[in-house]
Amino acid sequence: MGRPPGHAGAFVDIDDRMAAALIDLGRHGEALEMRWVVRQTREAGTHEDATPIRLDLWLTEQAQNACACCIRPTRTVNCSTMSSVSPAATSTLLTAFTSSAKGRGASRCSSRAPKRVRHVGGRQRAVHRGVLPKPTPEHTHPGELAGVLSNVVFIRVVSLGPAAQVPFVGKGSRPPSIKKWKYMRDIAEITELARIARVDTLKSLWASQSGHPGSSLSALDVMITLYFGGYLRVRPEEPNWPERDIFLLSQGHAAPGYYACLALRGFLPRRELETLRQFGSRLEGHVKRGITPGVESSAGSLGQGLGFGVGAALSIRRKNEDRRVFVMMSDGEQQEGSTWESVMFAGSHQLRNLTAFVDVNRNQINGPTHEIMPIMDDLPGKYAAFGWDTHEIDGHDIRQIGAALDDSLTSDRPTMIISHTVTGKGVPYMEGDYHWHHGKITNDLFLEAMGALDESVSPSPDESWVPGATPTPSWLA
Amino acid sequence: MYQIGENVALRTAFGPALLSLAQEDPRIMVVTADLGGSVNLGEFKQAFPDRYINCGVAEADMISICAGLASEGAIPFAVTFGSFLGRAVDHIRQGIGHNKLKVNIVGSHGGISNGMDGPSAHAIEDVGIMRSMPNFTIVAPSCANQVENAIRASVSQSAPVDLRSSPVYLRLYREPLPVFTSATEEFQIGRAIKRSEGSDVTLLAYGPHVGFCMDWLAKLQGVASIDFLEVHTVQPLDEDAIMASVAKTGRVVTVEDHFIRGGLASAVAELLVSRRPAPLRAVALRDYARSGPYFELRDSIGLGVDAVSAAIEDVLTLT
C-alpha cells in the first residue's frame, strides 16, 4: 500500500494510516484534475514544532450529489508530529476540510453547470465545476469521512517542512486500496520514464541526423517531472482543454526531448518521433504552435517564451482560474534583454501562478556560458533581485525538482527554479560538451549512447532503432 | 462623432473609440509600452483597469505578453509609437505572425507626425516592416471619423481577410487634422475609397495625406485630371479598384508619409508590374527627416503640395 514518508519536500506517499483515516478508495477512473491546496497557517502557541503539510486530493468525476460551491476548505492546521499525534489533531485537520463543507448543499445550489475550484489568495472558493460528495458538518472521526471523500482516488501528502511526518491515526477504518492516479508517478517511475524519453529522443535525433541533443537531454528530467509528477494538468486527448496548465518551451531547440515527453504522455504516437524535422512532419526542428499537439507557442528565437507566459499568467489570473504557467528557458537565453523585461514585469506584478526554469547546462553554441558571459553565473541573485522566489536545484534529481515545484505552488510571487544540469545528460560522450548543443549522431555514437542508457538495440539499424520500440511501462499503459 | 472641419488627431480619437468597442466586447484588452496616454486611453484605463496593462518601456515584452493573452482568448491591442516597433520585430514575427495569433498592433505617431521630437520618434519604415511579414493586415485611417470604424473592422469578419483571427497593424498619427469624412461614410478594410474622379493620373494616398490632397485638389486638378483613391488598407491592397483606375489613366502617383522603399509605393509597384505596368512616381521620404513642427517639416522635406504637384507633372511626361 502506501510507502513510508520520504524526505522533506519530496513526493510523500500517504501511509496506510493516513489513507485509512481519510478515505475509502474504492473508486478508480479518471480523476478530476484539480488540486485542493491547503495552505498552512500557524495557530499561535500551538504545535510549534508541527510540520506543515499540503494535501493534494484528486477526485473522481463521478463524485455524486453535491455542488462544489458548498465545499470550502479554507485552511490547514499544523499537524503535530508522529510522536505526539492525537486524535484531536487528526480530527482538527479533517474537520478543516469538512467544516468548510457546511453550506447550502446541492439541493440549494442554484447552478447546475459544471464548476471548478478557484484558488484566490490562498483560500479556495469552490465556485466552479466538479461535482463533489455532499458533506455533513459533524465529522470528527476520520473513518466517518469515508463517505464524504469517497471519491478521492489519490492523495498526495507533501511535507513543506524539514521533517516529513505523516501524522494521522486511523481508528476503526479498513485499509483502502490505493490506486494511483495515472500521471502522478513516484520517483522511481519518473526516473524510468526519463530514461525511456532519452532513448526515444536519441532515436529521433539519429533518424533526423540533425537537431539539438545537448539541451534536449539536459532539460528532460524537469520536463518529465512536470508531465508525470502531477504538476502539469493536461489532457492529451483534448490538447486545448480550457482548464489545462500551460507549459512553454522557451528554449525551443530542446524540441526533440520535449516531443519525446509529449509522446510518452500521449499527445502523439511515440513512433511519430521518427519524423523529426522531416518535410511534412508535425514535429519541426523547433516547437511550433498549431501543428504539434500539446505545444502552446512556437519558439526558437530566445527571449520570448517568458513574455508569452506572463501574458498567459495575467489572463489566467484575471479570469480567476486555478491554472499554472510553466516556462522552460535556457541559460544562454538569459543574455537576451527581452527576457529581463518579462522578469521585471512578473516580479512587479507578483505573478504567483508563473513558475519558470532556467536549464543551466553551462553551455551555449559558441562555448561555455561562463566564458562568454561570466557575470550571469549568479542567476539566483538576479532573479531574487527582481522579486522572484528563487530555488537552486540539481536538475537531474527528481526529488529536488519536485520539492521546488511543490514550493512554487504555494508561493505568493513568481518562482524561478535554477536547474543545474549537464549538457547531454545520460550520454557520457556528450556530457558537458558544448559541441553537443547540436550535432549528428553516427551509428556508432548511437550504439554507445544506447549502451549508456541500458537500452538494448540491434547492432545495426532496424526496428529496435525506431522511437517507441521500448515498451511503455505497464503501469502507464 | 466629430464634425466636419473640426480639428481632431487620429490618436486622440483612438482611446474613446476603443473604449466604445471594449464596452461591447469583453475580450478587448490593451497592453502599452508606457504610451497609453498618448493615444487617449485614460478613460479606457479607468473604465477597465484590469484590461489595461502598462508593461513599461519594454516593447518586446509588450508583444510577447499580447501573444500570451491572445492564446488565452483575449483580443489585445499592443500600443506604442510606430518608431519603437522596430525593436520588437522578431517578437512580432515569431510570437504573433508565426504563432498565427490575433493581436492588433497600434503604431501611433506615424510618419513624421511627431515632428518636433525628431527622427528617433518618426516612424518611416513601419509599414514596410509590417508588409514584409506574412499574415498582417495594414490599415491607416486618414480622418478621426474613420478611427472607430477601422477599429471595429479590425476585429470583424470581413473580406478579404477574416480579422477575427488575423492580426492587424493600425497606423495612427499625432497631429490634429481637419475632419473631412462624415461619420456615416462606409469604411471597409481592403476597399479603397474614391475621393475624386479623373482621367489623367491615378493618385493613391493613405493617412493624413488623404486630407491634405483633398485640400490641394483644386490646385492639383490644374495640373492634370486626378482620379484619387484613398488606400487606407495598404495590405492587402484593393487591387481591382487600383487597376480599374490605372486602366483609365495609365499613370500612378503614390503619396505617403513613409520612406520610399517598402510602403505604398513599393506595394503598388509590385501590383502594377504583375498586372499592367504603368509609370509610377512616389511622393515619400528619401531619408531621415529632422526636428520641426509637423506642417513645416512636411512641406520642406518633399511631402507638401509642391512635391505632389511635381510628381504629377513628372509622371505625365513619362507616357
Tell me how far apart the 2 most distant CA atoms of chain B are, in Å: 59
Minimal C-alpha gap between A387 and chain B (Å): 16
Is A64 an 8 Å CB contact of chain B? no
pLDDT band of residue A158 (cuts 50, 70, 90) is very low
List the single residue in B31, B63, B71 with the smallest CB-CB distance to A297. B71
The CATH 3.40.50.970 domain(s) of chain A lie at 187-465
Report CB contact under 8 Å: A288, B98.
Answer: yes
What is the DSSP secondary structure assignment for residue A332, as one 8-state letter? G
Neighbours of A314 (CB within 10 A): 27
How many CB atoms lie under 10 A from the CB of residue A304?
32
Contact list in B for residue A353 (CB cut-off 8 A) is none
| Cβ–Cβ contact A288 with B under 8 A | yes
CB contact under 8 A, B55 and A345: yes
pLDDT digits (tens, 9 = 90+) for A295-334: 999 999 999 999 999 999 999 999 988 789 999 999 999 9
Of A290, A303, A314, the CB nearest to B53: A314
Q: Which residue of B has its CA nearest to A317?
A: B50
Summarize pLDDT for A449-458 with one digit per residue, the tens: 999 999 999 9
Look at residue B30 in the predicted model and tell me its pLDDT. Answer: 98
Contact B61 A338 (CB under 8 A): yes
Q: How far apart are CA A268 and CA A294, in angstroms?
A: 9
- Three cell numbers written together for A245: 496548465
Q: Provide the shortest C-alpha distance from residue A339 to chain B (in Å).
A: 8
B263 CA: distance to closest CA in chain A (Å): 27
A289 touching chain B per CB within 8 A: yes
Chain A CB within 8 Å of residue B133 CB: no
B67 interfacial to chain A (CB closer than 8 Å): yes
- The structural domains of chain B, ordered by start, are 7-178 (3.40.50.970), 193-316 (3.40.50.920)
Determine contact, residues B175/B168, Cβ cutoff 8 Å: no
Q: Which amino acid is at A376?
A: M
A10 pLDDT tier (thresholds 50, 70, 90): very low
Q: How confident is the model at residue A224 (pLDDT cuts 50, 70, 90)?
A: very high
CA–CA dist A310, B35 (Å, integer): 20
Select from B269, B304, B270 the least CA-distant residue to B285.
B304
Q: Which CATH class name applies to A187-465? A: alpha beta
Q: Tell me the CB-side half-sphere exposure of residue A17, using CA atoms within 13 A.
A: 13
Residue B153 main-chain phi, psi, to 5 deg: -65, -30
Instruction: Report the relative pairing of strands A123-126 and A117-120 from DSSP bridges.
Output: antiparallel
Distance CA A75, CA A137 (A): 16
The 3-state DSSP class for residue A437 equals helix
State yes or no: pLDDT of A463 exceeds 50.
yes
Write down the pLDDT at residue A414.
97
Residue of A nearest to B98 (CA): A298
Interatomic CA distance for residues B252 and A312, integer angstroms: 47
A329–chain B Cβ distance below 8 A for any pair:
no
Q: How far is A170 from chain B (nearest CA, A)?
A: 45
The answer on pLDDT for A270 being more than 70 is: yes
Inspect the interface and report whether the beta carbons of A308 and B94 lie closer than 8 Å.
no
pLDDT in tens, A74-114: 222 223 222 222 333 333 333 333 333 333 333 333 333 33
When mean pLDDT is compared across A205-219, A235-249, B103-117, the lowest value belongs to A235-249
pLDDT tier for residue A184 given thresholds of 50, 70 and 90: low
- Name the pLDDT band for A21 (thresholds 50, 70, 90): very low
Are B69 and A289 a contacting pair at CB < 8 A?
A: no
At residue A143, the pLDDT reads 32
State the count of interchain CB pairs (< 8 A) between A and B.
101
Nearest to A326 by CA among A384, A392, A251: A251
B232 CB near a chain A CB, below 8 Å?
Answer: no
ipTM over 0.95: no
With CA atoms as reference, the chain A residue closest to B49 would be A318
| Closest to B215 (Cα-Cα) out of B171, B263, B255, B174 | B255
**C-alpha distance from B171 to closest chain A C-alpha (Å):** 24
Cα–Cα distance, A35 to A71 (Å, whole number): 13
Of residues A178 and A473, more confidence is placed in: A473
Say if residue B160 is preceded by a cis peptide, omega within 30 of 0. yes
- Measuring CA to CA, how many Å separate B142 from each of A342, B54, B220, B221? 35, 27, 19, 21
Residue B59 annotated among the catalytic residues of the structure: yes
Percent of chain A whose pLDDT exceeds 90: 52
Q: What is the mean pLDDT of chain A?
A: 70
In chain A, the residue whose alpha carbon lies closest to the alpha carbon of B60 is A338
Distance CA A198, CA A305 (A): 24
CB contact under 8 A, A311 and B70: yes
Give me the pLDDT at residue B160, please: 78
In a mutagenesis test of the B interface, which of A244, A292, A345 is the best target, namely the one with the most B β-carbons within 10 Å?
A345
- What pLDDT score was predicted for residue B205? 98
Among chain A residues, the shortest Cα distance to B50 is held by: A318
Q: Is the pLDDT of residue A189 over 90?
A: no
- Cβ contacts (< 8 Å) between A345 and chain B: which residues? 55-56, 58, 61, 65
- Residue B175's pLDDT is what? 97
CB contact under 8 A, B95 and A313: no
Nearest beta carbon to residue B65 from set A297, A314, A344: A314
- How far apart, in whole angstroms, are the C-alpha atoms of residue A255 and residue A201? 9
Interface test with A, best of B54, B57, B59, B64 (most A CBs within 10 A): B64
Between chains, do B99 and A300 touch, taking CB under 8 Å as contact? no
What is the reported pLDDT for A83? 23
Contact check, Cβ <8 Å, A315/B91: no
Long-range contacts of A14-18 (CB under 8 A, 24+ apart): A14/A155, A14/A156, A14/A157, A14/A166, A14/A178, A15/A166, A16/A170, A16/A175, A17/A166, A17/A168, A17/A169, A17/A170, A18/A155, A18/A157, A18/A166, A18/A168, A18/A170
Contact A310 B70 (CB under 8 A): no
Q: Does B315 touch chain A (CB under 8 A)?
A: no
Q: In chain A, which residues have their Cβ closer than 8 Å to the Cβ of B51?
A: 318
Q: Which residue on chain B is closest to A291 by alpha carbon?
A: B99
Per-residue confidence in pLDDT tens, chain B, 319 aa: 899 999 999 999 999 999 999 999 999 999 999 999 999 999 999 999 999 999 999 999 999 999 999 999 999 999 999 999 999 999 999 999 999 999 999 999 999 999 999 999 999 999 999 999 999 999 999 999 999 999 999 999 876 789 999 999 999 999 999 999 998 999 999 999 999 999 999 999 999 999 999 999 999 999 999 999 999 999 999 999 999 999 999 999 999 999 999 999 999 999 999 999 999 999 999 999 999 999 999 999 999 999 999 999 999 998 6
Q: For residue A477, what pLDDT is reported?
A: 66
Q: A408 vs A232, A322, A328, CA distance in Å?
A: 13, 14, 14
> Do the beta carbons of residue B269 and residue B276 sit within 8 Å?
no
Residues of chain A positioned with their CB less than 8 A from the CB of B58: 338, 341, 344-345
Active-site residue, from B6, B24, B43, B59: B59
Question: Which of A297, A316, A344 lies at the smallest CB-CB distance from B99?
Answer: A297
Residues of B in contact with A300 (CB under 8 A): 94
- In the prediction, which pLDDT does B271 show? 98
Q: Is the pLDDT of residue A72 over 70?
A: no
User: With bands split at pLDDT 50, 70 and 90, how would you rate the model's confidence at A39?
Assistant: very low
**Whole-number pLDDT of residue A410:** 73
Check whether A50 has a pLDDT greater than 60.
no
Q: Does A309 touch chain B (CB under 8 A)?
A: yes
Banded model confidence at residue A215, pLDDT cuts 50, 70, 90: very high
**Which H or E run contains B209?**
helix B208-221
Which residue among B56, B66, B71 places its CB closest to the CB of A345? B56
Dist. CA A77–CA A89, nearest whole Å: 8
Chain B CB contacts of A337 under 8 Å are 60
pLDDT for residue A459 is more than 60: yes
Tell if the CB–CB gap between B68 and A337 is shorter than 8 Å. Answer: no
Contact present, A449 and A202 (Cβ < 8 Å): yes
Cα torsion angle, A111, A115, A120, A125, sign: positive
pLDDT (average), residues A252-268: 97
CA distance B129 to B251: 26
- In this predicted structure, what is the pLDDT of residue A40? 23
The whole-number pLDDT of residue B319 equals 66
